[in-house]
Amino acid sequence: MKEPFERVVSEHGPTVLRVCRATLGPMDADDAWSETFLAALRAWPDLPEEANVRAWLVTIAHRKAIDVHRATGRRAVPVDAVPEPRGPGPQRPEDALADGRLWQALADLPPKQRQCVAYHHVAGLPYVEVAAVVGGTEAAARRAAADGIAALRRTYLAREDVSSHA
């Protein structure tokens, strides 16, 4: 028996929103999230009981992110367009700045690395499921995520060091 879809939204909604933000940046994430959950709602009655709901949602989010990406034609999120962080949590200016640099560092990654980083490190999917979402082998997904992390270490943490000494 299917549980009410609301349970899916409350359990996985925040994770999927983070994934959308990590793959698309904060500007387009809301649209991708809405499209993902609207599509998931429609398909919910027919999803097999044994399905992995989170992997299923990330798969839908992956396709929707591609659609949003095509629609907007944006590759990178300009740093000056990053909105204030929303919701609870620290709202100090330096946090907003760190947030903006993080988006920029992610946006600079090749799409596949960015996706593998998001689906493994933000969504928590094992690499075998990441590979099923992005295509290719498990080893390739693992390598793309590792390359992405290495690139983020170089770009994002380097900038962090510079700014902390400024």
Partner 1 sequence: MPDFTELLPAGFDPSSFGPGEVPKGLRERLVARATAEHSLDVVYRVVDSPVGSLLLAATEAGLVRVAYAAQGHDSVLADLARRIGPRVLRTAAGLDEVVGQLDAYFAGSRSSVDVPLDLRLAHGFRRQVLDHLRAIPAGRTETYAEVARSAGSPRAVRAVGSACASNPVPIVVPCHRVVRTDGSMGGYVGGSEAKAWLLAREAAA
| CA 141/CA 122 separation, integer angstroms | 14
Residue with tokens 């959308």: 20
| CA 133/CA 63 separation, integer angstroms | 9
Q: What angle do CA 23, 24, 28 make, to 5 degrees?
A: 150
By CB under 8 A, residue 22 contacts partner 1: yes
| CA 32/CA 72 separation, integer angstroms | 12
Residue with tokens 């500007």: 27
> Smallest gap, in angstroms, from Cβ of residue 166 to partner 1?
14
Stretch binding partner 1 (CB under 8 A), from 50-58, 76-84, 92-100, 132-140: 92-100
By CB under 8 A, residue 99 contacts partner 1: yes
> Smallest gap, in angstroms, from Cβ of residue 59 to partner 1?
18
Which of these, 37, 22, 27, 34, lies nearest to 102 by C-alpha position?
22
Q: Binder to partner 1 among 44, 108, 138, 143 (CB under 8 A)?
A: 44
Residues interacting with partner 1, by CB under 8 A? Answer: 1-6, 9, 13-14, 17-19, 21-22, 26, 29-30, 33-34, 37-38, 41-42, 44-45, 85-90, 95, 98-99, 102, 117, 121-122, 146, 149-150, 152-153, 156-157, 160
